Structure 1
Amino acid sequence: MTIADRAAPAVPDDDPARSLTVAHPDDPATTYISLAGDNYAMLIGGEQTNGKYCLIDMRVPDGGGPPPHRHDFEEMFTILEGEIEFTFRGEKRTVGAGSTVNIPANAPHFFRNVSGASARMLCMCTPAGQEEFFRRVGDEVASKDAPPPSLTADEVAERRKRATELAPAYRTEML
């Protein structure tokens, strides 16, 4: 069934209270979060989209990426630079610049940068909320190129514990 086959209500009126959003990773107002060694620029959040989606510019060092997890929202990645190995339901697939990957809701997955150099991708989550989770579990840094903070073993353990404890509130399960 296509969208055109579905009976749908009329398109709602424009909401003039909502404004155009223009985001750029070099904008001084951008928030940058270091999380597990990756650097995430929070480009567009739920506050700009009425909670419909968020957009994050991810810079992932060689070998970087999150631990295995799953969540009840859709996640889409467009690789801009480098190669990312996605593990989806236990199957590995390497994807290069120019490709887009959609992770269906609830599916176990994770990714690793296998480029031999830094990689970059855009991540869109729908609905929004992932950007808030990242802000709560990561560390704010000064810029898109800022190195991750030097954390002690205890601080790393505290970040992992915080992520595990907050994950359910953000519809995420760490595996």
Structure 2
Amino acid sequence: MVEKISGNLLLPPDDLNRVLGFTQTDGETAQHVGLVGDTYTITVAGKHTGNRFCVIDMHVPPGGGPPPHRHEFEETFILLDGEMEVTFRGSRSTVRAGDTINVPSNSPHQFHNASSKPARMICICSPSGNDEFFLEVGVPVATRTTPPPELDEQQMVEFMERAKALAPKYRTELLDKA
């Protein structure tokens, strides 16, 4: 309940049902998921933030990155290591370690590691949901940098069909171009 004192709005009381979140990206309880050749570690799940946001630590090897897509949530990337090509509404840019980009909701985009070294970035999605999509469509892997199993041509077709079928559930659309 929010109280008013002398016409001023006060903050609601602390929600004691929520707890401090803590994840060690290389710890035993971290959730690592292999997807499109990348490995994503869920560091803050939406279920722990009242679905306000989620945080994902992304390991993107050379050649990695998702296909063009768009979704009904904001996505902010903080590039910690390496270099990435980002295509946003058809325009390509290069981002480097230390750069931060924000992808507005519903806008077509894609990122791709065109360099010869792995890239690492933190992705913040608001509201959450992308974390659950990754867990449902990807495969569990052992560590933050463990690559997902390589897929043959038929397995890749099956994976893409599954991803396209699940995408609307998570307010996401896979596209032909960014």
Q: TM-score, normalised by structure 1?
A: 0.92
Counterpart residue number, 1:84: 84
Partner Cα separation in structure 2 for residue 125 and residue 158 of structure 1: 27
- After TM superposition, give the deviation of residue 101 of structure 1 in Å: 0.5
1:107 matched to 2:107: yes
- Highest CA radius of gyration, 1 or 2? 2
Aligned ranges for residues 11-90 of structure 1 at < 5 Å? 11-90=11-90
Could you tell me which amino acid in structure 2 is paired with residue 126 of structure 1? S
Q: Deviations over 1:141-162 (max 9, x none)?
A: 1111212213232221111101
Where do 5+ consecutive residues of structure 2 fail to align?
1-7
RMSD: 1.3
- With over 3 angstroms needed to count, the CA separation of the structure-2 counterparts of 1:128 and 1:9, relative to structure 1, is farther
- After TM superposition, give the deviation of residue 129 of structure 1 in Å: 0.4
Could you tell me which amino acid in structure 1 is paired with residue 124 of structure 2? M
- After TM superposition, give the deviation of residue 9 of structure 1 in Å: 5.1
- After TM superposition, give the deviation of residue 20 of structure 1 in Å: 0.7
Counterpart residue number, 1:127: 127
Partner Cα separation in structure 2 for residue 29 and residue 79 of structure 1: 24
Q: TM-score, normalised by structure 2?
A: 0.91
Could you tell me which amino acid in structure 2 is paired with residue 151 of structure 1? L
Counterpart residue number, 1:94: 94
Could you tell me which amino acid in structure 1 is paired with residue 166 of structure 2? L
SS in 1 for 2:136: helix
Q: Deviations over 1:113-164 (max 9, x none)?
A: 1231100000010001001001111111111121221323222111110110
Number of aligned positions between the proteins = 168
